[in-house]
Amino acid sequence: MLQGSDVKVDVPNKLGFTALMVAAQKGYTRLVKILVSNGTDVNLRNGSGKDSLMLACYAGHLDVVKYLRRHGASWKTRDLGGCTALHWAADGGHCGVVEWMLQDGCEVDVMDAGSGWTPLMRVSAVSGNQRVASLLIEGGANVNVKDKDGKTPLMVAVLNNHEELVQLLLDRGADASVKNEFGKGVLDMARVFDRQVGCFPVSLQAPGAPEATAQPGDMPRSPSCRAWSPYWKRGERSRCRRTPPSLRSADPAPCSPNAGAGRT
């Protein structure tokens, strides 16, 4: 059929997906190869700015990722939220994909356009996946990088009650004494969000950790903190979904909490 002169391989569906995007997302490597060999554009983007490479990275299809890279797909492409393929690979939690991307020279500390979040920030906020976080750190991710509100990955991990990730970040050099642009530190955030600081008896009481200064009723002024805070009960572990609902759709929404919900 593709050999017919009137066949157009890059016609998108109503969601803005081309045949290549669907094949890449589903992991249909053979179909991806057929489409590329018949002239499909590997760098086309859908309505929310995602290309086939991002979709394959999020879904964990390493063979497709490698093939697209060999045929011109770029790590530098960003979606409408300013996110790259590595942001989406980190969200997907596929260690093999993340590891290969870093070996292939993918920039590790790239920030999104909304909140200034790196892939490590995304892991700290969404999944708390220690294996992915370790790969990113080993690949050169800055554990003390700050977003636009001055939050570090450690702060974000505490806000989302990722206890094991908190310890990992501290073991890898995260600074517990850092304060954000509003003068709040890790313990402040734990108290403000009604976190049981005792869940981190060693980590958050480490030498250099700041004294908590938050007052009852204080609320953070950072919209990204509020947007990503899970549902809590005092003294219990997080009961939030491991992945926000918007990231489960066929086309993941822009990865920054401030970048808008759903497709555009």
Distance linking the first and last C-alpha atoms of the chain: 32
pTM: 0.74
**Residue 185 pLDDT more than 70?**
yes
**pLDDT-based confidence at residue 194 (cuts at 50, 70, 90):** low
- The reply to whether 153 and 229 lie within a common domain is yes
- The reply to whether 63 and 90 lie within a common domain is no
Last residue of some domain: 74, 100, 129?
74
- The reply to whether 67 and 88 lie within a common domain is no
What's the average model confidence in pLDDT over 139-154?
96
Single-letter amino acid, residue 42: V
64 inside domain: yes
What's the average model confidence in pLDDT over 90-116?
96
In the numeric block, which tokens belong to residue 50?
A: 């995602």
Tell me how many domains the chain contains: 2
Specify whether the CB–CB gap between 159 and 193 falls below 8 A: yes
What domain range includes position 36?
Answer: 1-74
pLDDT: is 258 or 176 the higher one?
176
Q: Write phi, then psi, for 45 (nearest 5 degrees).
A: -125, 150
Which secondary-structure segment (H or E) carries 139?
Answer: none
- The reply to whether 14 and 139 lie within a common domain is no
- The reply to whether 115 and 170 lie within a common domain is yes
Specify whether the CB–CB gap between 228 and 257 falls below 8 A: yes
In the numeric block, which tokens belong to residue 199?
A: 């869940």
- Measured CA to CA, the distance from residue 249 to residue 51 in angstroms comes to 15
Specify whether the CB–CB gap between 136 and 130 falls below 8 A: no
Single-letter amino acid, residue 128: G
- Can you list the positions of beta strands (E) in 156-235? none
- Measured CA to CA, the distance from residue 182 to residue 222 in angstroms comes to 9
- The reply to whether 64 and 152 lie within a common domain is no
201 inside domain: yes
Specify whether the CB–CB gap between 161 and 199 falls below 8 A: yes
Query: pLDDT over 70 for what percent of the chain?
Result: 70
**Residue 215 pLDDT more than 50?**
no
CATH number at residue 230: 1.25.40.20
DSSP tag of 53: H
